[in-house]
Amino acid sequence: MKLTLAIVVIFATVFSGLIDSYDCKIVQFIFGDSLSDNGNNNRLSKSFAQAALPWYGIDYGNGMPNGRFTNGRTVADIIGDKTGIPRPVAFLDPSLSEDVILSNGVNFASGGGGILNETGGLFIQRFSMYKQIDLFKGVQTMIRAQIGNQEADKFFQKANYVVALGSNDFINNYLMPIYADSWTYNDDTYIDYLMETLGAQLTILHGMGARQLMVFGLGPMGCIPLQRVLSTSGECQEKTNTLALKFNKATSKLMNDLSAKLPNASYKFGDAYDVVNNVISDPGKYGFDNADSPCCSFGKIRPALTCVPASRLCKDRSKYLFWDEYHPSDRANEMIADELIKKLGFAFFNSSSSDPSPPPTSAPAPSDD
């Protein structure tokens, strides 16, 4: 009798503890490429896309490389910080456990990864979007075993989902003649192919519980230093910029279509193309000194592909738009994050204010149809 009571008390305590922690916590799951990678590729031993050497991370924490492909924070870091959501842990981080997932979410982003499986093949190892979804399936299995299906359904439906990839599908696929896609498609049919694939991927995520999801668009990727060195004059590649604009327009439409089609889905699109383009046209006006070359560069040898220990750094890292040949600096990422917060109306991240779907006080029986 006494024992039964004790068990009931323990059970009630544990159970209410579960309700408290899982009911209130909103975490994020990030799917992306090197713009969001926070350590996955550094643990893929055969990957050629790694941010494992100085001077990556020089303005982050202790200044040692941490897997981020920039000097400081990624756009996703900054958005999370500004809206009160914890930074998700890299999927391959050894600290990953059920408790960490429940309190912080997971970041599956991988440098070189794209929407298409074949994108970034030159890097040998990277997680493409379908692979990232497979990894998320494994995470769901772990969480279901830990807290049960009902609580897990709630947890995954309340989470925020960020999908930020696409630039490698151009830079490290369509625009490189060594990839078959570059001669199989033209601009329009290639973008159709990307949208069909992305639509299928986001529908799978919806089936796994994703309700609040946002896709980040592409910036003026024809103006990254790596693209500029393709021409002797160092101009932006307008063809590449046009592809980014077409991709953004198509993705925005896809999000509207999916939100209308998938039950309870709020799938949003946001890009920072214009604000980055403004800086490129008139850096001084926005407090930058340089918007066309990398802060970290290997003397006059361009493109140096990655920042290496023997590279020279620019004098003031906060005045450069680009950190290396591909990636924006911390300061640029902050500007991009601010724009995305504005465009996407991130207020709901901030649990003190408006949650778009506050849990009802008297919960109706959950139903799946």
Q: Which residues are catalytic?
A: 34, 324, 327
Q: Which is nearer to ligand NAG, 129 or 223 (CB)?
A: 129
Interactions with ligand NAG, residue window 334-353 (CB under 6 A): 347, 350, 352-353
Say how many C-beta atoms besides its own lie within 10 A of residue 328's C-beta: 26
* Residue 263 near ligand NAG by CB under 6 A: yes
* Residue 117 near ligand NAG by CB under 6 A: yes
How near is the Cβ of 123 to ligand NAG at its closest, in Å? 15
Q: Which is nearer to ligand NAG, 256 or 353 (CB)?
A: 353
User: Which of 30-38, 41-49, 126-134, 142-150 is the region at the interface with ligand NAG (rule: CB under 6 A)?
Assistant: 126-134
Expressed in angstroms, the distance from the first to the final Cα of the chain is 41
Residue 88, preceding bond cis, omega within 30 degrees? no
* Residue 134 near ligand NAG by CB under 6 A: yes
The only residue of 264, 282, 312, 359 in contact with ligand NAG, by rule CB under 6 A: 264
Strands (E), the chain: 28-32, 89-90, 105-107, 160-164, 212-216, 266-270, 290-294, 296-297, 312-313, 320-322
How near is the Cβ of 153 to ligand NAG at its closest, in Å? 9
Q: Which is nearer to ligand NAG, 41 or 329 (CB)?
A: 41
* Residue 361 near ligand NAG by CB under 6 A: no
Interface characters, 218-257, with ligand NAG (x: CB under 6 A): ----------------------------------------
CA separation for the pair 146, 159 (Å, rounded): 17
Under a CB-based contact definition with an 8 Å cutoff, are residues 163 and 31 in contact? yes
* Residue 207 near ligand NAG by CB under 6 A: no
Under a CB-based contact definition with an 8 Å cutoff, are residues 165 and 120 in contact? no
How near is the Cβ of 340 to ligand NAG at its closest, in Å? 13
How near is the Cβ of 128 to ligand NAG at its closest, in Å? 6
The only residue of 17, 63, 84, 359 in contact with ligand NAG, by rule CB under 6 A: 84
Q: Which is nearer to ligand NAG, 165 or 280 (CB)?
A: 165
Under a CB-based contact definition with an 8 Å cutoff, are residues 247 and 191 in contact? yes
Closest CA to 336 of 243, 271, 285: 271
CA separation for the pair 94, 293 (Å, rounded): 36
- Scanning the structure block, which residue is given the tokens 């544990």? 14
User: Between the CA of residue 100 and those of 32, 104, 259, 319, 349, what are the distances in Å?
Assistant: 20, 6, 30, 36, 19
Residues near ligand NAG (CB under 6 A): 84, 117, 130-131, 134, 263-264, 347, 350, 352-353, 367
